[in-house]
Amino acid sequence: MRLVVVGSVNLDLVARVTRLPAGGDTITAVDYNRIPGGKGANQALAARRLGADVALLAAVGDDEAAGEALALLAADGVDLTGVRRVDGPTGVALITVDDGGENTIVVVPGANARLTIDPAELAGADAVLCQLEVPMRTVAAAARATPPGALFCLNAAPPAAVPAEVLDRADLVVANRAEFAAVGGLDRAALVAVTAGADGAVLRAGGREVARAAAPAVTAADGTGAGDTFTGALVVGLLAGLDQDAALRRACLAGAAAASRPGAQPSLPRPADLDALEAR
């Protein structure tokens, strides 16, 4: 199965704190790390680690951060020939994570705001996956260029108004509860997966629930990337021919596994991790 991900690449600047700051607060971090991230990159790596043949179409800057941001993707064999280098900085995300695994994230788009695609780059794809950390015009172009019979998936995050033409082409939309409430018209898609963290996820078709899966109990370490892992896992499961219930359960396992470990890309699980969590 060949999955083409059209999306963002960031370098995550992660500060761990005992509690998230309130407005006007200044607090001292207990740890700091630079970690590859970005919703597109995270989803590409999650799908790759779970067995898909993955190509990433993305844009990074002409700075040293670009190499850092792409390092884990390259190490795991994601096809990066479609990653453009543009003038200016690579995208960054300023992330604060507290002792309970809750986080706040501020994204500085950088090169991601300049991503464009050539429709020919999607030829031969079995599935195309987009998110909303890149320009909407690029997402719409990817929807139009997805080959007939291929799966087009949209992760509606961060929340933004999505054109009807994109939703009408979408075979699958993934959103958390807040995103589902904030983005109108998502039920226009053939399938909509709505995630609820520790409460699991539901799958909707035609505005009604058609499947539900519980999330396994884990100790949360960092929620960064958990939703991206869920999305990548759900796409991989559907591409592999799992039925809707099984694919949703597998995606919940993947999201929980990611949330139980710190960092976005370093936390992304492999099939053995999901099997171990399911067997508990």
Q: Could you tell me what percent of the chain has a pLDDT over 70? A: 100
Is 90 exceeded by the pLDDT of residue 131?
Answer: yes
C-alpha 84/C-alpha 62 separation (Å) is 10
Select from 45, 40, 34, 134 the least CA-distant residue to 94.
Answer: 34
Mean pLDDT of the chain: 95
* pLDDT(224) > 90: no
Question: Which tens digits make up the pLDDT trace of 235-251?
Answer: 999 999 999 999 999 99
List the Cα angle 187/151/268 in 5-degree steps.
90
* pLDDT at 275 (0 to 100): 94
Is the model's pLDDT at 171 over the cut of 90? yes
Q: Is the dihedral of CA 252, 280, 259, 265 positive or negative?
A: negative
Domain range annotation of the chain: 2-268
Does residue 222 register a pLDDT over 90?
A: no
Q: Which H/E stretch holds residue 176?
A: strand 172-176
Per-residue pLDDT tens for 181-194?
999 999 999 999 99
**pLDDT tens digits, 41-66:** 999 999 999 999 999 999 999 999 99
Per-residue model confidence as pLDDT tens digits over 68-87 = 999 999 999 999 999 999 99
Average pLDDT over residues 81-96: 96
Provide the pLDDT confidence category of residue 263 given band limits of 50, 70 and 90. Answer: confident
pLDDT (0 to 100) of residue 221: 84
Cis peptide before 158 (omega within 30 of 0): yes
pLDDT for residue 102: 87
What is the CA 221 to chain-centroid distance, rounded?
18
* Catalytic residue from among 222, 228, 245, 273: 228
Q: Is 228 a catalytic residue?
A: yes
Query: Interior CA angle at 259 toward 253 and 264, to 5°?
Result: 115
Q: How is domain 2-268 classified at the CATH fold level?
A: UDP-N-acetylmuramoyl-L-alanine:D-glutamate ligase (3.40.1190)
Q: How far apart are CA 70 and CA 68, in angstroms?
A: 6
pLDDT > 90: what percent of the chain?
A: 89
